[in-house]
């Protein structure tokens, strides 16, 4: 019912909107697992500000960053039972629902650049990928960028495929990413983002892959020694809503949220680019991590070594999907 969605929650650490009326008409909750100054964090606070401004305080979005309310393991479930109204999980995390199509975005060396990402996510085909979410009571509202992922390790520089052999690598819960690590002879270890830094620090895992913004804001440069700017994979997000909540929204509020969301996503995408450059500069200035720039030959060797991941995904969802994504992403 409407009432259920408008219940306010008083939890410490909630980021308050700039404009507040005494009685908000609608209160939404958005949980995420990364820092506020990441593309996703910045997009979330932009959405919060836009909703507050444009509704003059009638629509309030509470943002819970850093896994402070829900973490990877339970956030999708929390969205399904209505404990939050909005989420922005990475596309690599939907496998938990038994929906493997989003792993198409995890295919190695998929997008040549961000323009290629834009072409795919802004096309009608990408919207169709949201359809399976309906079975799970979820509604896909948009895609958000983070950027390209790079490999890191504590022990030694990762230059050639054989450098990965025997390493325990933290991965997101995506069988496609796991297959890439296995193809390199590494052991993929699936774990929550929130647990990753600690696991790296304690040597539970040896290395991982991240976009620069998550690597820097997650302070992984303090617990890794080598970062190879491999750009071997993409990390993006889907903005998803609880479908029942969405269906019960009055039309004006729904429209308000849709428009604000589109603006916040455009802002988040711009931030993804800007924050990535900032993170790289910050890592250079910090100086603790050794940066390695792979040669075209080294990237090609990595691409070839990871290629079996395509077949692994094709075997699960059908070669047609993998072919379609590869064609569109060129």
Q: Report in angstroms how near the CB of residue 214 gets to ligand LMR at its nearest.
A: 5
C-beta of residue 183 within 8 angstroms of C-beta of residue 204: no
Give yes or no for a contact between 87 and 75, defined as CB atoms under 8 angstroms apart: yes
Figure out which of the listed residues 55, 99, 214, 275 binds ligand LMR, where binding follows CB under 6 A.
Answer: 214
Q: Tell me, residue by residue from 147 to 186, as one string, x for binding to ligand LMR by CB under 6 A and - for no binding.
A: -------------------------x--------------
Closer CB to ligand LMR, residue 62 or residue 72? Answer: 72
Closer to ligand LMR by CB, 34 or 241: give it.
34
Among 48, 55, 66, 90, binds ligand LMR (CB under 6 A): 90
**Which one, 59 or 289, has the nearer CB to ligand LMR?**
289
Does residue number 193 form part of the binding site for ligand LMR (CB under 6 A)? yes
CA-closest candidate to residue 227, choices 269, 287, 182 = 287
Cβ-based nearer residue to ligand LMR, 55 or 66: 66
Minimal CA–CA distance to 217: which of 35, 31, 21?
Answer: 35
Among 28, 30, 33, 199, binds ligand LMR (CB under 6 A): 33
Other C-beta atoms lying within 10 Å of the C-beta of residue 313: 24
Residue of minimal CB distance from ligand LMR?
90
From the CB of 216, what's the least distance to ligand LMR, in Å? 12
Angle formed by the axes of helices 251-286 and 39-54, to 10°?
150
Stretch that binds ligand LMR, among 32-40, 74-82, 135-143, 239-247 (CB under 6 A): 32-40
* Count of residues interacting with ligand LMR (CB under 6 A): 8
Task: Name the burial class of residue 248, with classes exposed (0-12), middle (13-18) and buried (19+) by CB atoms within 10 angstroms of its CB.
Answer: middle
Stretch that binds ligand LMR, among 20-28, 33-41, 76-84, 287-295 (CB under 6 A): 33-41
Cα–Cα distance, 118 to 158 (Å, whole number):
29
Q: Which pair of structure tokens corresponds to residue 16?
A: 């308050």
SS3 assignment for 240-276 = EEEHHHHHHCCHHHHHHHHHHHHHHHHHHHHHHHHHH
The DSSP secondary-structure symbol of 303 reads: H
Q: Which of 30, 34, 183, 302: binder of ligand LMR (CB under 6 A)?
A: 34
Q: How far is the CB of 145 from ligand LMR (least distance, A)?
A: 11
With left for phi above 0 and alpha for psi between -120 and 50, is residue 20 left, alpha or beta? Answer: beta
- Which pair of tokens denotes residue 4? 């259920």
Query: Per-residue x/- marks for ligand LMR, 39-78, CB under 6 A?
Result: -x--------------------------------------
Min CB(3)–ligand LMR separation in Å: 31
Toward ligand LMR, which CB reaches closer, 70 or 193? 193
Element holding 237 (H helix, E strand): strand 226-242
For the chain, helix, strand, coil in percent to 5 are: 50, 20, 30
Chain contacts with ligand LMR (rule: CB under 6 A):
33-34, 40, 90, 146, 172, 193, 214
């Amino acid at each position: 019912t409407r009432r259920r969605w408008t219940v306010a929650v008083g939890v410490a650490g909630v980021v308050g909107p700039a404009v507040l009326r005494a009685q908000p008409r609608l209160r939404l909750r958005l949980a995420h697992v990364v820092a506020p100054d990441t593309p996703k964090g910045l997009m979330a606070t932009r959405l919060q500000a836009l909703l507050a401004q444009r509704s003059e305080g009638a629509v309030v979005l509470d943002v819970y960053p850093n896994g402070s309310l829900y973490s990877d393991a339970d956030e999708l479930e929390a969205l399904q039972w209505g404990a939050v109204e909005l989420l922005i999980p990475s596309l690599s995390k939907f496998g938990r629902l038994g929906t493997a199509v989003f792993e198409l975005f995890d295919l190695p060396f998929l997008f040549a650049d961000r323009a290629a990402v834009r072409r795919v996510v802004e096309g009608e085909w990408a919207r169709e990928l949201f359809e399976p979410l309906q079975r799970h009571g979820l509604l896909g509202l948009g895609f958000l960028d983070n950027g390209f992922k790079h490999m890191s390790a504590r022990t030694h520089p990762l230059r050639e495929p054989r450098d990965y052999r025997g390493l325990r690598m933290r991965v997101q819960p995506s069988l496609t990413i796991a297959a890439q690590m296995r193809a390199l002879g590494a052991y993929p270890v699936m774990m929550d983002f929130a647990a990753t830094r600690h696991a790296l620090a304690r040597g539970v895992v040896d290395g991982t892959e991240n976009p620069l913004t998550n690597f820097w804001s997650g302070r992984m440069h303090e617990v890794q020694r080598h970062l190879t700017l491999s750009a071997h994979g993409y990390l993006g997000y889907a903005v998803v809503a609880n479908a029942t909540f969405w269906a019960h929204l009055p039309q004006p509020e729904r429209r308000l949220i849709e428009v604000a969301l589109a603006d916040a996503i455009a802002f988040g995408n711009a931030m993804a680019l800007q924050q990535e450059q900032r993170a790289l500069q910050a890592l250079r200035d910090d100086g603790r991590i050794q940066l390695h720039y792979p040669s075209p030959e080294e990237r090609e060797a990595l691409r070839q070594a990871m290629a079996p991941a395509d077949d692994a995904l094709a075997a699960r969802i059908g070669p047609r999907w993998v072919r379609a994504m590869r064609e569109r992403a060129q």
